[in-house]
Amino acid sequence: MDPDIRGIRWAFVLVGVADGTLLPFIPLYLLERGLDAPAIGLVLAGMALVWLFAGLACGYLADRRIRPERIVLAGASAAAAVGLTLALTGDGVTTALLIVALTLVRSPLTLLDAIALRKLRTKSRTGYARIRLRMSAGWAVSAVASGAAYHVLGLRLIPFLYAPLVAVVALWIWRAVKPDMSSASSDAPTPLVKGVRLGGIPLAVVGFLVSCLLLGISLAATQNFVTLQISVLGGGALLVGAAGAFQALTEIPTMGYTHVLTRYLSHQALFALGCVIYLAVFVAWALVSNALVVALLKLVIGVGFALTYVAAVTIANDLSPSRFRATGQALVKSVLFGLAPIIGALGGGVVYGTFGARVMFLASTFVVAAAGALALVVVPVARRTAEPSPLALEAAAPATP
């Protein structure tokens, strides 16, 4: 196997392992520090705001000034340092500020997708989804193991697990993920952006960004607060961690076999199908009152996430000019995981605290339905060619790191 591909594969695994010790537990961590649901929503919105602008800045720098591998290395190193400072405070406000700061310094990790797509173009035909699923695998193992540890030893253990693991990510990026010195070549696929434009921006791009915005709002309003719902219904850190692992367990095979679905469905259809799956789970969450069942429904969420995430990355790649691929990826992710969560986390926290979980989950179904419908309407269908694209999932490599 090409060393570059091996390096980026293991980078995805290591990031999944590190993030699995932190991200699923942030709402519980803040709750333990004395914050209520609206305050937690405010912190999550602050994280999203930071992610929005930092992600765009990272994409801009990666396309124009600095190799993305160097930016990721700097971000992972800084995340290790900031993560360790969480152990120095037990105050809720200070903890919230440190988590927002941690979001800022770890934002360069979003460039891993752009790095993988660039290496696939020049080095291999191995599909992006086959690489991305390794992050889900790392996340699954890590979320369960760390959840069990937190259940026994408490959430105060978070900094002592996350900081060393993200430091390992930095070391691996430094040693194994070398900068790709080739520039975007002329044989890159032509972006599917011909047609109607709004203020010089293709309608397909604007429409898809709005679709991502709606999807992200629904996810922020549900995924973050389903953690609190599990806790309210009697579940603890172990079940929260297991819920994160349940999602990853179904992400892995779904991503691994996306190539089968793309023989019959376009990427925008896969995106819409993922939205339908989310809608069904949101309805179920509104009706279920058992913590274990709420957690088990994450198995279905994993399928929806795999379909929408891989489709979004692929559509962004298709719609972006070759020289601005990192910016295109950063823009979509900044909307999906930055701008949208500002609205979703704030709104979700207010609705959850005022009207309860059921109203929040049911309201989110209308938002996610609009996201899927819009993607079907505005994103053009790519013409199939005899030569598979760099994102085609035709490799027979096993789905292991």
| pLDDT the model gives residue 99 | 96
| pLDDT the model gives residue 378 | 85
Q: What percent of the chain has pLDDT over 90?
A: 38
Higher pLDDT, 295 or 119: 295
Mean pLDDT to the nearest integer, 209-232: 89
Is residue 368 situated within a structural domain? yes
Is residue 81 situated within a structural domain? yes
User: Residue 188 above 60 pLDDT?
Assistant: no
Quote the number of domains for the chain.
1
* Residue/partner pairs of 23-26 with CB below 8 Å, 24 or more apart: 23/244, 24/143, 24/147, 24/227, 24/240, 24/241, 24/243, 24/244, 25/146, 25/147, 25/150, 25/155, 25/158, 25/227, 25/237, 25/240, 25/241, 26/99
Higher pLDDT, 339 or 236: 339
Is residue 369 situated within a structural domain? yes
| pLDDT the model gives residue 386 | 39
Domain range for 222 is 3-179+188-378
Is residue 391 situated within a structural domain? no
Q: What percent of the chain has pLDDT over 70?
A: 86
Q: Compute the radius of gyration of the chain from its Cα atoms.
A: 20
| pLDDT the model gives residue 401 | 35
Higher pLDDT, 321 or 6: 6
For residue 191, the SS3 value is coil
Cα(306)–Cα(304) distance, integer angstroms? 6
Is residue 173 situated within a structural domain? yes
Is residue 392 situated within a structural domain? no
User: Residue 9 above 70 pLDDT?
Assistant: yes
Burial class (CB in 10 A: 0-12, 13-18, 19+), 32: middle
Mean pLDDT to the nearest integer, 315-330: 76
Is residue 384 situated within a structural domain? no
For position 274, which CATH number holds?
Answer: 1.20.1250.20
User: Residue 206 above 70 pLDDT?
Assistant: yes
pTM of the full structure = 0.71
| pLDDT the model gives residue 390 | 41
Is residue 388 situated within a structural domain? no
pLDDT digits (tens, 9 = 90+) for 68-121: 899 999 999 999 999 999 999 888 899 999 999 999 999 999 888 888 877 776
pLDDT digits (tens, 9 = 90+) for 355-376: 888 999 999 999 999 999 999 9
User: Residue 381 above 70 pLDDT?
Assistant: no
